[in-house]
Structure 1
Amino acid sequence: MFRTAALYFFTLLAVARGQQAGTLTTETHPSLSVQQCTGSGSCTSLSRSIVLDSNWRWLHDVDGYTNCYTGNTWDATLCPDDVTCAQNCALDGADYEGTYGISASGNQLSLQFVTQSSQKNVGSRVYLMEDETTYQMFKLKNQEFTFDVDMSQLPCGLNGALYFVQMDADGGVSRFPTNKAGAKFGTGYCDTQCPQDINIDRLRTSVQANVEGWEPSASDSNAGTGTYGTCCVEMDVWEANSMAAAVTPHSCTVTEQTRCSGTDCGEGDDRYDGICDKDGCDFNSFRMGDQSFLGPGLTVDTTQKITVVTQFVTSDNTTTGALSEIRRVYVQNGQVIQNSKVNIPGMDAYDSITDDFCNAQKEAFGDTNSFEQMGGLQSIGDAFNTGMVLVMSVWDDHAVNMLWLDSDYPTDVAATNPGVARGNCSTSSGAPDDVESASASATVVFSNIKFGDIGSTFS
């Protein structure tokens, strides 16, 4: 995955990660039903809910209505430094549908790209909750995870993503007691991009804002980056729009949500010197040589709802064995569709992700193999042993216009070179100003989430 550390979505009056919990707006988590299945094919419905990430929320002074963060600038009085800011500022509850375009009904979750209320909101990121204060933790070794997705309304430049990250189940409250908001308010995000756009950063012993060293974005009036980033293992089950899709594990040398700064964050020229693998080991059918597999009217038809099955196979077919393979299956119109096969010179006809596939891909494409260097599939398996949090989001890309997913990337290399062509979108597509204007109503719908024994969640 080639997104940068900052996910530039900020468009509210004040959006940030907060230590304190606000009381001005009641936080009500939208309900979402999921199913847990067994080898007998029996599935049990679980009443769950979703919570909005803290970085989208209104951040204001604890005792009033004054914004701690407006546009991409901190209030100098409330936030003169990191520690004081976290003490002075509180996250508040969210109007999910009215402000953020997030709606849930039964087993279906809809995320609208742009919502215009009193303020313009772009994109969103939500987590599945087990209860009001705890994220649902997934341990998926020797298990499969299945969901339906309708991404027919997502054009070039957008990403409707479903993935897992190694967040703390309580959003960091136990490790960082000064965090009073916790999972109830969507705190604790981390991923392998070590995002530095997170405005309130949990340190090892406390919660601090990311004020010191904050640099407003030159391309986004509502975004910026700070000195610190937040890193952890990431398993991208689905990053996609109507033109392309990728499944991508990312490894790390750390085993829990971890603060980074400097080289450890892997920014710029230090990309391959950080503590996490930013590129990952992706299986994008188009990039792997089958350009007729997934897209409008193709074998996997993105104009219709798709059932996506991901199987996490272990070396001994037990939940305690080493993760050895990640398999992908699709179901559409009653037909089970096996994953496409690799058609790249010098590579075998792989149709799943293994360490051998990843090593062969990196060699064939001439890419740095940071995935192997930082632990490969073992890193993903270890994270699932601990438990990972389910994330669903929709976003655009202020760094490289999502070209890494759906076009030719890098753009200064011939598209005929192996690994450069990733989708049929133009290299001039995906500019945020364009997609936010032309595709404001774009929506991704996730539904029918199931998880359990391999072979139990689809037929």
Structure 2
Amino acid sequence: MDIWEANSISNAYTPHPCTVTGQTRCSGTQCAEYCDQPGCDWNPYRMGDKNLYGPGKTVDTTKKMTVVTQFITADNTATGKLVEMRRLYVQDGKVIQNTKSTIAGLTQFDSITDSFCAAQKSVFEDTNVYAQKGGMATMDKSFQAGVVLVMSIWDDHAAHMLWLDSNYPLDRDPSKPGVARGSCPTSSGNPKDVETQSPDASVTFSNIRFGDIGSTFGAIIDPGTPTTTSVPPGTTTAPSGTVPQFGQCGGQGYTGPTVCAAPYTCKVNNQWYSQCL
């Protein structure tokens, strides 16, 4: 499970289901027999939102951020069947939701599910190895067995990281859905250049937490200048908009819509964040 593959230009989170259930050694192309090497990725840029993540963008990579990954089960319990993986960010005291895809045929999706993966592979004309290896059910079994968090900083001798932040594969038309993954040129990412030009490249991870959904982060939003609204006698006001399942519906300083789409209700996770469940 690649919970966070990123640089300052692009990011992705990607489940890679495997058919082996224990520690297994492989070499070269043999490894592709065991695991879904491409995985089912969610890269905001690749999914059509070129302004969500990067320097000076909605999630500004020149600043510290909190990355949240939520593993949703069918019955919304910690022991239920895994059916969905969601991503959100917290920066400058603001919760930033993952945006829906703008790619035709994928606009209903904003998270990773088996349905999303099947649709994405079809639209992007990729083989759905993810489904062949068991998809979300296989990932669920892996998590039940127990996983270890491993962190690294690396460069890519095989594909120069173009699969993350440029056009890839190189033999495909960049205008086709799924080919553009970031704004880096296709000539970038050569390890010789990376190691020469950025010998002191680094990343800092801190305050790593895991727990029930909504319990691992908080956001305090500056309410700004108070405003008053006059309401004529005999009338009432109601929040506008409906919030989809798992969307934010409340919290300290939150000013967005608070009405959940049926049949969901707004549940308080903590004083800063309420979510439609």
Is residue 2:13 matched to residue 1:255?
Answer: no
Aligned to 2:143: 384
Task: Check if 1:236 corresponds to 2:21.
Answer: no
Secondary structure in structure 2 of the residue aligned to 1:265: helix
Quote the offset at 1:450 in angstroms. Answer: 0.8
Question: Deviations for 1:324-363, whole angstroms, at most 9, x for unmatched residues?
Answer: 0001110000000000211111223311100000000000
Q: 1:364 to 1:385 in 2, by over 3 A?
A: same
5+ residue gaps, structure 2, are: 219-277
Alpha-carbon separation, structure 2, partners of 1:262 and 1:414 = 28
SS at match of 2:3: strand
Equivalent residue number for residue 62 of structure 2: 303
Residue 318 of structure 1 deviates from its aligned partner by: 2.0
Between 279-288 and 409-418, report the one with greater CA deviation: 409-418
Of residues 69, 84, 88, the one that matches 1:329 is 88
How far apart, in 1, do the equivalents of 2:26 and 2:62 lie?
A: 41
Matches of 1:334 and 1:450, distance apart in 2 = 17
Q: Which has the higher contact order (CA 8 A, sep 6+)?
A: 1
CA drift of 1:320 comes to 2.4
**Which position in structure 1 is the counterpart of 2:172?**
413
Q: CA RMSD in A?
A: 1.2
Q: Distance in 2 between matches of 1:298 and 1:260?
A: 40
2-structure distance, mates of 1:401, 1:455 = 36
Q: 1:275 aligns with which of 34, 45, 69?
A: 34
Q: 1:332 to 1:412 in 2, by over 3 A?
A: same
Residues 204-224 of structure 1 show CA distances to partners (whole Å, capped at 9, x for unaligned) of: xxxxxxxxxxxxxxxxxxxxx
Matches of 2:108 and 2:81, distance apart in 1: 23
Write the letter of the residue equivalent to 2:161: M
**Matching of residue 356 in structure 1 with residue 115 in structure 2:** yes
Cα separation, 1, equivalents of 2:150 and 2:7: 17
Q: Post-superposition shift, 1:322?
A: 1.1
| Cα separation, 2, equivalents of 1:260 and 1:412 | 28
Identify the match of residue 105 of structure 2 among 346, 362, 365: 346
How many angstroms apart in 1 are the aligned matches of 2:28 and 2:177?
32
TM norm structure 2: 0.77
Higher strand share: 1
Deviation by residue 1:112-142 (Cα, 9 ceiling, x = unmatched): xxxxxxxxxxxxxxxxxxxxxxxxxxxxxxx
Identity %: 63
Deviations 1:91-111 (A, max 9, x none): xxxxxxxxxxxxxxxxxxxxx
The 1-side partners of 2:11 and 2:28 are apart by 32
SS in 1 for 2:153: strand
**Cα deviation, residue 428, structure 1:** 0.5
Equivalent residue, structure 1, for 2:192: 433
Structure 2 Cα separation of the partners of residues 347 and 443 of structure 1? 34
Query: Is this contact kept in 1: 2:78–2:212, CA < 8 A?
Result: no
Instruction: Output aligned runs, 1:63-142, within 5 Å.
Output: none
DSSP-derived class of the 1:382 partner: helix
Change over 3 Å in CA distance of 1:263–1:447 after alignment to 2 = closer
Q: Secondary structure of the residue that 1:368 maps to in structure 2?
A: coil
1:403 matched to 2:169? The reply is no
Note the alpha carbon deviations across 1:132-163, whole angstroms, 9 max, x for none.
xxxxxxxxxxxxxxxxxxxxxxxxxxxxxxxx
Q: CA deviation at 1:261?
A: 5.5
Q: 1:242 to 1:261 in 2, by over 3 A?
A: closer
TM-fit CA distance, 1:400: 1.1
Question: Residue 449 in 1 paired to residue 208 in 2?
Answer: yes
- What count of residue pairs does the alignment treat as equivalent? 218
Secondary structure of the structure 2 residue equivalent to 1:341: coil
Structure 2 Cα separation of the partners of residues 305 and 355 of structure 1: 32
* d(CA) in 2 for partners of 1:262, 1:367: 21
Question: Hey, what does 1:245 align to over in structure 2?
Answer: 11
1:386-425 deviation per Cα after TM superposition (whole angstroms, max 9, x unaligned): 1001000000011111000000001121110100000000
Distance apart, 1:259 and its partner CA: 2.4
Runs (4+) of structure 1 exceeding 6 A deviation are none
Seen in structure 2, the aligned counterparts of structure 1 residues 249 and 262 have a Cα distance that, compared at 3 Å, is: closer
Query: Once the two structures are superposed, what CA deviation does each residue of 1:402-459 show, in whole Å capped at 9, x if it has no partner?
Result: 0000000011211101000000000001111111001001111101101111110112
